[in-house]
Amino acid sequence: MSPQNFGLLREGAGNAVIRPIPLPKLRDNYVLIRTVAIALNPTDWTTLDAKGDDGTIVGCDFAGIVEEVGSAVTKSFKKGDKVTGLAHGGWSPRRQQRHIALANRDAAVGKQIRQDTDGKITKVFDTVGMDTSAAICADAIGASGGMHCTLLPVETSREEVESIFFLGYDITGESYKFEGESYPAKPELFEWTKKFTTLAEKLWAEGKWQPHPQSVKEGGLLGAVEGMNLMREGKGPSGEKWVYRVDDTKWP
Ligand SMILES: NC(=O)c1ccc[n+]([C@@H]2O[C@H](COP(=O)([O-])OP(=O)(O)OC[C@H]3O[C@@H](n4cnc5c(N)ncnc54)[C@H](OP(=O)(O)O)[C@@H]3O)[C@@H](O)[C@H]2O)c1
């Protein structure tokens, strides 16, 4: 008997349900991965609530095991490899500077950073992407201005600070739709990503970067739906990632 594959599918904005889905057909330059665990990302519920197509798969961040390797894959993946990655949940099925990463809710922290760094900061990476975090980032940048790079489309109120928003899904090098908007293919970013992930694997093996603290929650994919509901109510994780094991799911 062939295995039954399930996915969390969007059925109307804000609504994710478990449905049987076909096993994906392996494309030549892809690997087929059996998902073992997922981690909730704020984008899971914000994308689910936004404009999008019904029938698309919800969720992004995963870890799993390689089942099959496409014939055109150039990297030495093999069946059984443990891998982690990001998918694009909600995707239409049709088709030497100093960097500071910020995670502090105190509105005064930006001015404090500017003072502590003598106004020399020119670039800030905003890993939160809210109006409040954008304001903190702008405050941290020195008087001559600079760049605020953000994961969500927010602007700062300082004219001399340019806000640049990007989507991680660009790294596939393929075109896609996000929240109803079309984004063109950027093959050069896939080439960049191959270099980046190779470097990241090396740094990982050397123990030079580590994951967030994590908390394994109950209920598998259904637990993740509950987790998204809590995030939506502002009762989501703080200081940790919520992780769900697929095998903990009570299948329909
Ligand atoms: N552009 C893209 O391609 C893309 C893709 C995926 C996600 N995103 C977005 O990127 C953002 C970060 O995602 P993530 O996976 O890193 O999320 P995450 O693991 O939940 O981390 C969010 C971080 O932001 C902090 N934070 C939350 N609200 C804050 C606030 N009001 N002020 C200051 N800090 C705050 C959290 O602090 P605590 O832990 O202390 O609460 C946490 O450190 C999310 O908004 C997500 O929607 C963008």
- What is the CA(27)–ligand 1 centre distance, in A? 32
How many angstroms is it from 47 CA to the middle of ligand 1? 14
Q: Is the pTM of this model over 0.85?
A: yes
- Can you tell me the distance from the alpha carbon of 82 to that of 68, in angstroms, rounded to the nearest whole number? 12
Phi, psi of 166 (to 5 degrees): -140, 160
How does residue 104 score in pLDDT terms, banded at 50, 70 and 90? low
Residue whose CA is at the smallest distance from ligand 1 atom 32: 105
Tell me what the mean pLDDT of segment 50-77 comes to: 94
Residue range(s) occupied by CATH 3.90.180.10 in the chain: 5-95+175-248
CATH code 3.40.50.720 for 5-95+175-248: no
Least confident of 6-10, 17-21, 106-110: 106-110
Residue 69 Cα, ligand 1 centroid: separation in angstroms?
33
Q: Note the pLDDT tens digit of each residue in 183-238.
A: 999 999 999 999 999 999 999 999 999 888 999 999 999 999 999 999 999 999 99
Residue in this structure with the two tokens 């892809």, named with its chain if needed: 30
- pLDDT above 90 covers a percentage of the chain that reads 82
CB–CB of 129/164 below 8 Å? no
